[in-house]
Structure 1
């Protein structure tokens, strides 16, 4: 048996990256290495953006970073969304912290190669990591508009002026999209500035914008209102790019199909620009948008990309009732609260192994955890489902005891340092409130009292009023501690 690597241009997977079982892929690759199968080493090097150790039977999954392929049969196939996910991770804080600069550069070069195989241009940050020269200033690369997994629609905020759920009401197959509009030259040669794009994003966040199939005629704008096929409901600037979020109208079934099949990939912003001539260039320095419309490929306008398509997951309940996943989870949550459903029953119905769930939340030593929980239940003499409630009570009692003990310690130290005058002690304590953390030592409290009476002018004035002249003197011992306050009492 041998592992093969499919040519990227002839075979690319469009499967959602979140649905790809990376653990199973690693087990297959590890098995191939241990059995010394033909093509195993090459498959590992291709599967991951970088491998931090020698590729042999001893290599571990922790040594491999940036998966972006699937294994179909015995063939390694590039996953488009996996590629975008790896590039985004490498360019962001999610990248492995122990990747060396050389490893990051190697990973970037690997990913850039795949972008080129797809006739796409890799993000600037990835090209920079790969050591490639930056694009000329002001030049915008013509990107093929493709549906990608570079971000989710939820990453773009929705305008508070729009009820997005009402827009989706009655739609059995709701579809959302996010389009990316970069600053740079349009095909007509106008240079769109970042502030012009920000103006567009601001308008969307203030009121939203309609989207039509093609632009209206200028003479019809004042009196015509065609039916929108998309409602642009949110926007966000990231660097010099505007990301606009839209909801496809329930009536636009053809448009949904075109977007999913990538037959329609571009939008054009229709509106009134403010132009300036700068160094022979026509710059768009402001823009009053009227609509963001879907256009056939190749039309004049800004280069745009559809960077996210979000379809609402649904659950078909018994009787044909359709329910969104979030709604279903809320129903389950409420059923657990009401006592009508147990987590044990849920796990049993789904058929998921309990160790998988525990590993997902970071608990790998299940037996030890179970033993500890069992000991706690016996100690407290409560049922398993009451543990959290009882532990919370213990925590609250411990916190209250710590606060009481702290209060007594503060009173004791103030009593030792301020020898006479109950009113003076009350003043000092009142001004110390909140300035000493619970659990502070006697020395820390003494230091705080000393600093208060030495540095706080308000405290000095109040206490001086009690005695009609400077009332106390502070001194530090040879270790810098405040041993006490010497109170000088004066008859009035």
Structure 2
């Protein structure tokens, strides 16, 4: 069985120790990470006159060995801590000793959580590990490494760690961690935003660093950018409702949206929309029905006007047929007639059409065309016009 380390990959390739750089996140309180079910903090700290808790962070990123540790792999470790907890040692166990060796833990990892693509782990330093407490508080030790079995996936020449079975979260000397890790909180004091420990300036009563509004906004922007926090997380923590946030940002926009919503509600009521009915589809159907109704009214008015303005039945008939010359011209002209026009306006459009020179010429041709058979040069009076007889010998 092959073992690997996430945060402190001490694996060597050709005697090289690989380097990994990760994201820097903001502050985190001990209480921000809940303990796993069944953890009894009082029992763990019993008899400890100098208890110490820490929170360390590990972002999804590339390790010194070049492996891409995904948020899914970190989530596996978070879930493992929250279901069974994990031990922490000074450095890693040898792989061959894992199955039969019990080392006294120096830290008990009792809770974890994911924030975006960053994992946070809460640990209680064991009462017997006084040296480790001093090293952590003096910032001599502030990095951890996760020891376990990775699930690897090769994609386009890159190695992605898509799953992980952790065995321990161990402390390492400075800059030995394969992934970027750092302490972001300790019980009794808050560490600064760069992970260098308490600043000693602008401290509150608990020794934590305070920031002015500009600094807070800058850090929020940074954490939103790397997905440590999200807008819904902020709104949920503050108890904000969407309409409250939107009103503070743009009251006029909210007013317009509210007005539009009220109008839509009235439209739904007017159209009797309910349940799973699609208000947009129903509105489109209603609009088409109104359009057809309006067109029918216009066609009726136009038909009545044709009866009074055009004497020739043939002209009236051909105007309704787009296949005829006059019908084609009328179809173009009548596009300008809309349902909101009055009768006088429609009459004006028809008069404009009938008075057009080209239209007049077409209409006049209807009256000058000779009937069939005219000018056949005579013939038998009993023979219909247009027909000639021919005598043939039988």
Structure scoring higher RCO (CA < 8 A, sep ≥ 6) equals 2
Task: Calculate the TM-score normalised by the size of structure 2.
Answer: 0.42
Greater Rg by CA:
2
